[in-house]
Amino acid sequence: MDLGISGKRALVCASSKGLGRGCAEALAAEGVHLVMNARGAEALEAAAADIRAAYGVEVVAVAADITTEEGRAKVLAAAGDVDILVTNAGGPPPGMWTDWDRADFIAALDANMLTPIALIKALVPGMMARGWGRVVNITSQSVKAPLAVLGLSNAARTGLTGYVAGTARQVAGQGVIMNNLLPGIHDTDRATALDGGAAKAQGVSVAEARKRREATIPAGRYGTSAEFGATCAFLCSQHAGFMVGQNVLLDGGAVNVTI
């Protein structure tokens, strides 16, 4: 299927590795020019070079912390007018509900709620003026069903989801389509870190912790960044123009709900 977005420009945040990289690759495969971002310059430059070589699209790489005002200013200055925005950043650390104080919540809100909102506010007015745009926010399955050890994530991402639900309906009339993509467990560094925490808590090896987690997923495995990216590219496509403010869950069936 031709997604109809060849020649568009996309900002994909936090995209040197993992799910963000999967989104960047899938968009590049459709002929979309990229602005990629991550904090670590080395891995980012390597990812950008790989994507340029593989897909022949223009890739601007901006090393910056997207969760800070200075970092966002640097990324936005390099990005200029983009047609597609994929918001993403690292997730908050796991812990117990009794562990977290105000500063922990402020950090989680900054990274996983207020950063995407700031990027939306900066880029969506231009998309509306040009009559076309796509926004995909990478959130989490924790929006549909809480993950007890990820209380900071549960809180911050649910806040973003509420904001997007209202905002998506305010901008759709000007051709800007905004949706959220909710990862369940995917095979990335983040998953390895979470498995490390689970292994410690359960007193088992990381491999055993992963095996136990896989057994809770109807698909029987972790998702891949490529699968995730392909869904992201669809949400950024011409074909997604009637899909407004939705929360698309990619979790191998792990969240046991009817709708």
Side-chain half-sphere of 200: how many Cα atoms within 13 Å?
8
Q: Are the C-beta atoms of residues 228 and 159 closer than 8 Å to each other?
A: no
- Whole-number minimum distance, CB 230 to ligand NAP, in Å? 15
Nearer to ligand NAP, 81 or 189 (CB): 189
Contact pick of 164, 176, 185, 236 for ligand NAP (by CB under 6 A): 185
Q: How many residues bind ligand NAP (CB under 6 A)?
A: 28
Q: Is there binding between residue 27 and ligand NAP (CB under 6 A)?
A: no
- Whole-number minimum distance, CB 173 to ligand NAP, in Å? 30
Q: Is there binding between residue 189 and ligand NAP (CB under 6 A)?
A: yes
- Tracing tokens 């896989």 back to the chain, one arrives at 214
Q: Is there binding between residue 88 and ligand NAP (CB under 6 A)?
A: yes
Q: Measure the N-to-C terminal CA separation of the chain; round to a whole number of Å.
A: 27
- Whole-number minimum distance, CB 202 to ligand NAP, in Å? 18
Q: Are the C-beta atoms of residues 201 and 159 closer than 8 Å to each other?
A: no
- Tracing tokens 């926010």 back to the chain, one arrives at 137
Q: Which region holds residue 253: left if phi is over 0, alpha if psi is between -120 and 50, else beta?
A: left
Q: Is there binding between residue 190 and ligand NAP (CB under 6 A)?
A: yes
CA separation for the pair 182, 34 (Å, rounded): 22
Helix (H) / strand (E) element for 134: namely strand 133-138
Residue 136 corresponds to which tokens in the numbers above?
A: 């995909």
Nearer to ligand NAP, 7 or 196 (CB): 196
Stretch 39-78: interaction string toward ligand NAP, x if CB under 6 A: xx--x---------------------xxx-----------
- Whole-number minimum distance, CB 39 to ligand NAP, in Å? 3
What is the DSSP secondary-structure string of 169-219?
HHHGGGTEEEEEEEE-SBSSHHHHHHHHHHHHHHTS-HHHHHHHHHHTSTT
Q: Taking contact as CB under 6 A, which single stretch among the options 18-26, 93-101, 123-131, 236-244 is the one that binds ligand NAP?
A: 18-26
Stretch 110-149: interaction string toward ligand NAP, x if CB under 6 A: ----------------------------x-x---------
Contact pick of 86, 91, 124, 160 for ligand NAP (by CB under 6 A): 91
Q: Is there binding between residue 231 and ligand NAP (CB under 6 A)?
A: no
Q: Which 3 state secondary structure label does DSSP give 15?
A: coil
Nearer to ligand NAP, 72 or 134 (CB): 72
Q: Find residue 35's DSSP bridge partners.
A: 11, 60
What is the DSSP secondary-structure string of 150-170?
GHHHHHHHHHHHHHHHHHHHH
CA dist list (Å): 116 to 40, 85, 88: 20, 9, 7
- Whole-number minimum distance, CB 47 to ligand NAP, in Å? 8
* Interface residues toward ligand NAP, by CB under 6 A: 14-20, 37-40, 43, 65-67, 88-91, 138, 140, 183, 185-186, 188-191
